[in-house]
Amino acid sequence: MLILAGDIGGTNSRLLLAEIKNGVTPRIVYRHSYASEQFASFNDVLEQLFADVDASPVLACFAVAGPVHADEARITNLPWVLNTKAISEQFKIRRVVLINDFQGAAYGIPALQDDERATLQTGEPIQDGVYAVLGAGTGFGQALAVPCENGYQAIACEAGHADFAPKLSLEIELLRWMQQMHARASYEQLLSGDGLLRIFEFLAQHFGVSAGDELRQAMQERDAAAAVSKAALANSDPLAVQALDLFALNLLSYAGNLALNCIPRAGIFIAGGIAPKILARLQQNDCLARFNDKPPMTELLKKIPVHVVLNDQVGLLGAMLRAAQLVTQSVDEL
């Protein structure tokens, strides 16, 4: 039996086809990533997929970077609408399921190998406990995973759009600056690729300085956010260093807030495209201190494992495993 899985975001649409037999872990038979911005709609992406490979999946599960309502989802950073009925009818797929992209990541966490995550805090993990996933990339997302009778159930949320809660005096100034620039200041506006650039711009205005010639040229020639983080990690531009400092500290501070919300004794997993690239900065002690520095709950937070997910395919793998789970539950219907 063939299943189709996808991790659909504002930057990439990652798709795979896998065979599933008798409850055995699915075997991937085809995998490809498409640049989302090159397509007018997600259905166009699927048309390209089925032009590239001859396949007839019976069930599809797509992890989508945006809120899912019933049988429809809208990509937060693209003008795409995914509709399960339209996809099912056009591509003759018997069942199509949509989940949030971080639900996909949550379903994929148990499949990670030891070398596919970096541990920032060992903690005191509880087997089969709640765990949480968050991450920065094109946007900023998160999900919870709760143990149930038939395995984990991943729960989506949009708390990445929650109000920014500054701690340091410089962060308070950043909040005020954000409020002047936008109607409100949310974590997604700061903890994303564009967010790092907003922090960089704020610091330049606040201190009346600018990027060095080398960094300025790099920002013009390639991904500006990637250029800033690269310069910061190389310690080659003071403004970039300070921007990445604020970004990393607030990423771990938010992770601590999430931990207080759900007490994920099985762990907090920081996924997304940015965290692995700035792992060296996240591994510095001040970041973990921001995670734990929430008295009177500091001792509780120290018991929670904190990991950075190094496998950028975790959302795709999670969508595949969820599809396999659904096939197992409804095999008679299919």
What CATH number corresponds to the domain at position 268?
Answer: 3.40.367.20
Q: pLDDT at residue 24 above 80? A: no
111: in domain: no
Same domain, 291 and 315: no
Judgement on whether residues 263 and 171 belong to the same structural domain of the protein:
yes
Q: Flag whether 84 is in a domain.
A: yes
pLDDT band at 330, cuts 50/70/90? low
Residues 46, 166 within the same domain: no
Q: Which two tokens stand for residue 308?
A: 């950075």
CB 58 within 8 A of CB 49: no
Residue range 98-119: average pLDDT?
94
Q: Where are the beta strands (DSSP E) in the chain?
A: 2-8, 12-19, 27-35, 59-64, 68-69, 72-74, 81-83, 95-100, 117-121, 131-136, 140-148, 151-157, 267-271, 306-309
194 and 219 fall within a common domain: yes
Do 77 and 217 reside in the same domain of the chain?
A: no
- Does residue 282 lie within any of the structural domains? yes
Report pLDDT for 125: 96
The number of folded domains in the chain is 2
- pLDDT value at position 222? 85
Report if residue 124 sits inside a domain.
no
User: Confidence class of residue 249 from pLDDT cuts 50, 70 and 90?
Assistant: very high
pLDDT at 70 (0 to 100): 81
Is residue 334 predicted with pLDDT exceeding 60?
Answer: no
Residues 77 and 90 in one domain: yes
CATH number at residue 79: 3.30.420.40
- Do residues 265 and 323 both lie within one domain? no
Provide the pLDDT confidence category of residue 56 given band limits of 50, 70 and 90: very high
Q: Are residues 48 and 77 in the same domain?
A: yes
pLDDT at 23 over 90: no
pLDDT at site 143? 94
Give the domain extent around 302.
Answer: 159-309
Q: Given this model, what pLDDT does residue 176 score?
A: 96
pTM: 0.90
Query: Would the pLDDT of 333 be above 80?
Result: no
Residues 29 and 57 in one domain: yes
Judge if 303 and 316 occupy the same domain. Answer: no
Residue at 115 is within a domain: no
Residue spans of alpha helices (H) in 53-192: 84-91, 101-108, 169-181
Verify that 191 and 279 share a domain, yes or no: yes
